[in-house]
Structure 1
């Protein structure tokens, strides 16, 4: 009997596009937008690709200076939209240092050179690029472990009616289980231990989107 399940987008494509789209807007990002749009167009139709395509279209239709000003307003001037996953769970506490070590350990174990560019290792665009280009399983494990952080950020961006909410909708859609609709539902997810992690079959990944290099392969 044939499976009726629809094909899903390659999560690595979703993660790489979301990673670039969530980073500070630059001329390099603007140059990449056609590539991002093409990569999404090659994926099966799904909530992930629709949400990301809307964000990519917005980025392409908005002047760079306006994008930069809006980015600072959303992510730099408000802690309600923090892009650091452990900030949502541990804030600026001593325990957070131990938590950040988990991200560093995952990066080291992958065998890839991960340039943090001065960012903390739980910076969401970095975690997404790590999952896309270095170690999908380890990256998804980090994303799933901090699923409540992702969902809270998604809800906050949706409440602000920010186009960046599309990236969080897309990332959350790659993880098992439905996204909770409210903060109370996110707390219920935490109390229940979160949805189970599942393996996902993968199609060959588009090598045009790979910016990272294996250790020793400079």
Structure 2
């Protein structure tokens, strides 16, 4: 399902290659009959804003949204396990699932990183896609409500994932709770996090899952993209390249 690759790209760190891939992404979304005409039009509008936007501004907005605080994290297991040791085992299990399916994981990426997970799903059958998205629907709904509260375009992507499985109504169940949450991206909240003792995974988990911060991964990816000119076609076919 190529639309999942587009959604993965839209949720990832903005790059020049992403802007250049706008025409191809637009074409994929326009052909996605599983989505309503209004939702397709809304997504195309977002893609257009990315293509026409200032790249540095897009990157700064992305970092402010996803690298400050945990409530909008794109690391799925962080919403379930936080930084506990259980998250390490969950990532090991997910990594094993990827490998069993022949999906090659880049060492820079965590297994539970949502864009990566969507790339994996894009290689699976529709029934499995629906089942896997259904298992994380509660995470997607809460994340969507939080992104909507911050008026972030990325809420369009997570809401679309729920729409694909007919679970978009779940968002409303989380909106009131989200409005009552204290922001975790304020200077005071961030200072409090830094004062907490860091939880360490086991050495085996660190090695197998390449545990590192999402911000660090994106910085590494940005440097890599600057060294290599990634074509829009290769960008859209990344999932196919991973799966052997």
TM-score (ref. length: structure 2): 0.67
Residues of 1 paired with 2:242 and 2:11: CA distance? 24
Q: Deviations over 1:131-160 (max 9, x none)?
A: 113565555443321211111110000010
1:58-69 paired onto structure 2 within 5 Å: 58-69=49-60
Deviation at 1:169, TM superposition (A): 1.1
Matching of residues 70-81 of structure 1 within 5 Å: 70-81=61-72
Asked if the contact 2:76/2:113 (under 8 Å) is kept, the reply is yes
- Count of aligned pairs between the two proteins: 184
- Alignment partners' CA distance in 1, 2:163 and 2:39: 6
- Equivalent residue in structure 1 for 2:169, among 179, 184, 197: 179
- Once the two structures are TM-superposed, the CA of residue 50 in structure 1 deviates from its matched residue by 3.5
> Alignment partner for residue 2 of structure 2, among 13, 19, 42?
13
2:32 is matched with 43
Cα pair 2:20 2:51 within 8 Å, conserved: no
Deviation of 1:184 after TM superposition, in Å, equals: 7.4
Equivalent of 1:84 in 66, 72, 75:
75
TM-score under structure 1 length normalisation: 0.74
- Equivalent-residue separation in structure 1 for 2:145 and 2:91 (angstroms): 24
Query: Does the 8 A contact of 1:150 with 1:168 survive in 2?
Result: yes
Cα distance change, pair 214–24 in 1 and its aligned pair in 2 (3 A) = closer
Instruction: Name the counterpart of 2:199.
Output: none
Aligned to 1:25: 14
The CA distance in 1 between the partners of 2:70 and 2:235, in whole Å, is 34
From the superposition, tell whether residues 48 and 170 of structure 1 become closer, same or farther in structure 2 (CA, over 3 Å).
Answer: farther
Verify the 8 A CA contact 2:141 2:168 in the aligned structure 1. Answer: no
Q: CA deviation at 1:68?
A: 0.3
Who is 2:182 aligned against? none
Give the 3-state SS of the residue equivalent to 1:80 in structure 2: coil
Structure 1 match to 2:136? 146
Task: Work out the CA distance in 2 between the residues paired with 1:98 and 1:137.
Answer: 26
CA RMSD, aligned part only?
A: 2.6
Contact 1:157 1:165 in 2 (8 A): yes
Q: Determine which of 146, 162, 166 is the counterpart of 2:156.
A: 166
Is residue 2:145 matched to residue 1:118? no
Quick one: structure 1 residues 138 and 114, their matched pair in 2 at CA, closer, same or farther if it must change by over 3 Å? farther
Q: Indicate the structure with greater helix content.
A: 2
Structure 1: which 5+ residue stretches go unaligned?
A: 1-11, 187-206
Q: Is the 8 A contact 1:55 1:167 kept in 2?
A: no
Using a 3 Å threshold, how does the CA distance of structure 1 residues 103 and 72 change in structure 2: closer, same or farther? same
